[in-house]
């Protein structure tokens, strides 16, 4: 049994409480990240196989289905309770027990605010498995919390689901992916600069991506 099974039934409510300080909804944040994924993909956005690694209860999955309507969407998570919720709510999503057990390799693997939940001792093994699960021209898109942003750190410290979180900086993620796991870093940037009430300003996010003030950051890597 995963510790995240304990949060599965009340996952969305816990997340909403954590985000209340920013006046940003969990659904807005999920959609924002999926749009970011779509904008960062290296080989187009049609007829892809996309894995949501660490999907939780599936908050991002409706937006993946919407933004990649002609693609195959897969999902996996350590929490079996969460996966049962996904199966019930989104039968059009294919559940895989492990990326290595999937019937096909993936064009893209989406790892959104997941790595800080994985202890540093097993991150390399997991990321190497993800690399092996990508097509030769596929890409890994990682989104993580910005360790330089004090508001982000406060939100994480107050979130019950993040009680054992080990935040990781962009610099360390890049080293982990390239030096330790053999990925090639293709793109990086900071993101999530504006809360939902100021969402009209997100159009300037690409201009700000080199400024380490965003709530989160992204890294795009290839095998």
Q: Is 145 helix (H, G, I), strand (E, B) or coil?
A: strand
pLDDT at 8: 47
Q: Is 167 helix (H, G, I), strand (E, B) or coil?
A: coil
Q: From the options 3.40.50.150, 3.40.50.2300, 3.40.190.10, 3.20.20.80, give the CATH code of 5-212.
A: 3.40.50.150
pLDDT at 175: 97
What is the enclosing helix (H) or strand (E) of 184?
Answer: strand 184-191
**DSSP annotation of 76:** E
The mean of the pLDDT values for the chain is 88
pTM of the model: 0.90
Q: Could you say which residues of the chain have pLDDT below 50? A: 1, 5-8
Of 155, 62, 177, the closest CA to residue 111 belongs to: 177
* Residues paired with 216 in a beta bridge: 145, 191
pLDDT at 5: 47
End-to-end CA distance of the chain: 32
Show the tokens assigned to 54.
């660490």
Cα distance between residue 164 and residue 175, in whole Å: 22
Q: Is residue 191 a contact partner of residue 218, using CB atoms and an 8 Å limit?
A: yes
């Amino acid at each position: 049994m995963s510790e995240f099974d304990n949060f599965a039934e009340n996952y969305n409510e816990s997340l909403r409480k954590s985000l209340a300080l920013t006046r940003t909804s969990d659904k807005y944040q999920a959609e924002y990240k999926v749009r970011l994924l779509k904008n960062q993909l290296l080989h187009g956005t049609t007829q892809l196989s996309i894995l949501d690694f660490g999907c939780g209860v599936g908050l991002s999955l409706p937006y993946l289905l919407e933004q990649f309507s002609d693609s195959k969407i897969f999902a996996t998570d350590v929490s079996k309770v969460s996966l049962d919720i996904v199966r019930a709510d989104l039968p059009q999503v294919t559940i895989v027990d492990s990326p290595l057990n999937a019937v096909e390799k993936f064009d893209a693997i989406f790892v959104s605010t997941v790595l800080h939940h994985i202890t540093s001792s097993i991150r390399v093994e997991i990321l190497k498995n993800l690399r092996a699960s990508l097509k030769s021209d596929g890409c890994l898109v990682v989104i993580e919390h910005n360790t330089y942003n004090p508001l982000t750190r406060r939100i994480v410290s107050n979130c019950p689901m993040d009680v054992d979180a080990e935040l990781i900086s962009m610099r360390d993620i890049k080293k982990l992916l390239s030096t330790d796991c053999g990925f090639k870093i293709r793109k990086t940037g900071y993101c999530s600069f504006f809360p939902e009430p100021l969402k009209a300003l997100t159009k300037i996010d690409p201009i700000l991506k080199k400024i380490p003030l965003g709530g989160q950051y992204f890294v795009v890597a290839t095998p």
